[in-house]
Amino acid sequence: MDNNVIMETGAAPSVQTTDVDVLVVGAGFAGLYQLHKLRQAGFRVKVIEAGSDIGGIWHWNRYPGARVDSHGAMYQYSDPDLWKDWAYKELYPGWEELRAYFDHVDAKWDLRKDVVLSTRVTGADFDESTRKWTVHTDKGGDYVARSFVLCTGFASKPYIPEFEGMKDFKGEIHHTGLWPQQGVDMRGKRVAVIGMGASGVQVMQEAGAEAKRVTHFLRTPCLAIPMWQRQMTEVDNEEMRKHLPEDMMKRKQTFGGFNYDFQDVGVYEVDDAKREEMFESIWKAGGFWWWLNNFNDVLFDERSNRAQYDFWRKKVLARIKDPRLAEIYAPEQPPHPYGVKRPSLEQNFYEVVQQDNVDVVDLKQEPIVRFTEKGIQTTKGEYEFDIIVLATGFDAVSGGLTQLDIRGTAGRTLGEKWRDGVRTHLGMASREFPNLYFIYGPQSPSGFCNGPTAAEAQGDELVKLLVKFRDAGITRVEAKADAEEAWRNHCKMVADMTLFPKADSWYMGANIPGKPRELLMYPSGLPAYLQACEDSISKHFAGFEVSR
C-alpha cells in the first residue's frame, strides 16, 4: 500500500503528504531504536533526520579527536545479532568507527529505507478533530501521524556566544558541533580553541600535534580523567564478548546505565589506607569509573567530594610542571564539587598544554573583549589566528526541543511553555502536547546515562505505552498538569539532596543566558526511573489523560 497521497487546496502548489502511525524526528541511537522496535510491533513509521546520514551526534561530531567517552563494548545496542559480529578497534572508538557501527546496524536492521535524510521539521500542529499531528518540513512535504516522537538528543542545538566582532574575523570560525564534513586542515596554522568541555579537550590534543601555534582560552577547567586508551585486539574483543550478555543485563540495573555502579561504602566509612587503596584502584580502571564507580557519597557529601578532588589533583599535578598552568587546570581550591560537571576523558591533554607551541589564556584574568579581523582582542592584547574553534557547548537536553516550532493545543511551543522551567510527566510527555513524546530529553535519565542504554531503556517504555494505547483503542494521550508538577517537584527534591546545584553547568542549564536554572536530568538513576514508568503503566497510565 502506498502511504503517499497528493493533496491540493485551490490554486496553491500541491503538497505531498505522508500518512504514518508514528513520526520520529532524529536518526541517532534513540530515533533508530524507535524505528526498529515500532516496526516490529506493526506500526507504520518514518524518521526525519536533518543530517545527510544516520548516526545522530556521530554524524555531526567529526571534529579532530572526536570520540566516545564510554567503553565501546557498552556503547552499542544490546541486540546480540549486532554485537556478535561487531568489534571496535579502540577501547574508546572515534567518530569514524561510530559511523561504521551505524552502517553495521543498518545492514542488520534495514533502517535507511524508512529514514528521510537532509530534512528539517519547520513546524507542527495538532488537529483535535482527527487527533493527529501534521508536521511540516523544509522540503515542502507534510507528514500526518497519530504519534509524534522527538529524538533530538541532548546536543542538537550548539551554543555560540555572542562575541562582539565575530563577523569581522577574516579567518575560519567553526563550532565543534557544526564541523565541516570535509574536515578542517590545521597543519601549520595558528589556532584558537575556546572552551574546555569534552570537545575542547579533544581538539586541543589534536591541534597541539598539528598546528603551528595553539592558544587555549578557558574560564573554568574541566576536571579531566585519564582515558587509558588502547587498541583492541581480536583476543580482547573475544574476551569482551564472553561477558556481554551479563554486562548488557547490568546496564538497566545501574545508576548510569553502565556495567558498573557506585561502591557500597562512603569515603569516610573506611580507614585512610583502605580509602587510598580504593581511590587508586578506581583511578587505574580509567574513564567514568572515577565518576560513577566511586564511593557512594561523593556526589552528596562535600567532605567526601573534597577527598575525591584532592586525589584527582594529586594525580594531575604530577604531570604539570608549570606552576601557573597547574593552578589554572588543577587549582588548589576546587572550581566546583567534583563530578557535578561532566568530566572529560583525556589522553595527553596535560602534556599538550605545556608544549612550546601552546599558549593558555585564563579568561578569569584576561577576558575576551572582541573578535577582530586578525583574531581575538583580550584585555591584555590581540592574538592573531587563522582558525578559531568554538568548543562552547550546547543548549543541552531541552534545547533541541524548545527550538522547534511545534504548536500545542494552547497555541504555545514547548519553548514558550517551558520559559519558566521544564514540566513533563516521566520526562517523556508534556501537557498541551497530546500524542507527542520525547526520548533522551529533560527530566529523563538522558545526560546522566550511557546513551545507547537510555535509548533502549526509555525507548522500550515508550514502545510499550504506544502498543497498549493502540490495542486499547486510545487515540488521544496527554500528560496531566498535577502529574507534571509532581514529577518536577520530585526531580527538584532529589537534586537538592546532591551537590549538582552548587555548580553552574549545562546539567543545570546555567551555560545558556536566560535559561531557567534547574537540574535538567532525572537525578535518581535509571532503575528508579524505569520503575516509575512501569508504575504508570500498571496503574492504568497514571499521570496521563487518555481517551478513545
Q: Average pLDDT for residues 390-412, to the nearest whole number?
A: 96
Work out the average pLDDT over 268-284.
98
374: left (phi over 0), alpha (psi -120 to 50) or beta: alpha
Average pLDDT over residues 277-306: 97
Q: Please give the average per-residue pLDDT across 457-466, as a whole number.
A: 97
Length of the chain: 548
Q: Which pLDDT value is given to residue 16?
A: 87
List 48's β-bridge partners, or say none. 25, 116
Any domain includes 504: yes
Q: How many helices (H) and strands (E) does the chain have?
A: 16, 21
What does the buried/exposed string (b/e) look like for 400-427 if buried means 16 or more CB atoms within 10 Å of the residue's CB? bbbebebbbeeeebbeebbeeebbbbbb
- pLDDT-based confidence at residue 140 (cuts at 50, 70, 90): confident
Measured distance CA(167)–CA(373) in Å, rounded: 8
Look up the pTM and report it: 0.94
Collect all residues with Cβ–Cβ distance below 8 Å to 80 and sequence separation of at least 6.
244, 245
Task: Tell me whether residue 131 is in a domain.
Answer: yes
* Grid cell for residue 293: 564507580
Task: Kindly state whether residue 537 falls inside one of the protein's structural domains.
Answer: yes
pLDDT at 15 over 80: no
Residue 229 falls inside a structural domain: no
To 5 degrees, how large is the angle CA 38–CA 43–CA 46? 80
- What is the per-residue pLDDT for 128? 96
Q: Which amino acid is at 200?
A: G
Query: Is position 37 within any domain?
Result: yes
Q: Is 300 left (phi over 0), alpha (psi -120 to 50) or beta?
A: alpha
Confidence band, pLDDT 50/70/90 cuts, at residue 2 = very low
- pLDDT per residue over 348-362, tens digit each? 999 999 999 999 999
By residue range, what is the domain housing residue 450? 24-54+111-140+150-157+396-547
Residues 6+ apart with CB under 8 A from 426: 443, 444, 461, 487, 529, 532, 533, 536, 543
Report the number of distinct structural domains present in the chain: 1
C-alpha cell at 257: 546505565
Q: What is the CATH number of the domain that holds 478?
A: 3.50.50.60
Cα–Cα distance for residue pair 484/29, rounded to 1 Å: 26
Cell (9 digits) for 312: 584527582
Per the CB < 8 A criterion, the answer to whether 437 and 148 are in contact is yes
Is 409 part of a structural domain of the chain?
yes
**Rounded distance between C-alpha atoms, residue 255 and residue 326, angstroms:** 33
Tell whether 516 is covered by a domain: yes
- Residue 9's pLDDT band, with cuts at 50, 70 and 90, is very low
The continuous run of DSSP H or E covering 131 comes out as: none
Mean pLDDT in residue range 415-435: 97
| 367-396 average pLDDT score | 98
Mean pLDDT, the chain, as a whole number?
95
164 within domain boundaries: no
Is the pLDDT at 1 greater than 60? The verdict is no
pLDDT digits (tens, 9 = 90+) for 201-257: 999 999 999 999 999 999 999 999 999 999 999 999 999 999 999 999 999 999 999
> How many Å apart are CA 2 and CA 4, to the nearest integer?
6
Average pLDDT over residues 83-96: 96
What is the pLDDT confidence band of residue 7, given thresholds at 50, 70 and 90? very low
What number is the average pLDDT over the span 139-158?
Answer: 95
- What pLDDT sits at residue 326? 98
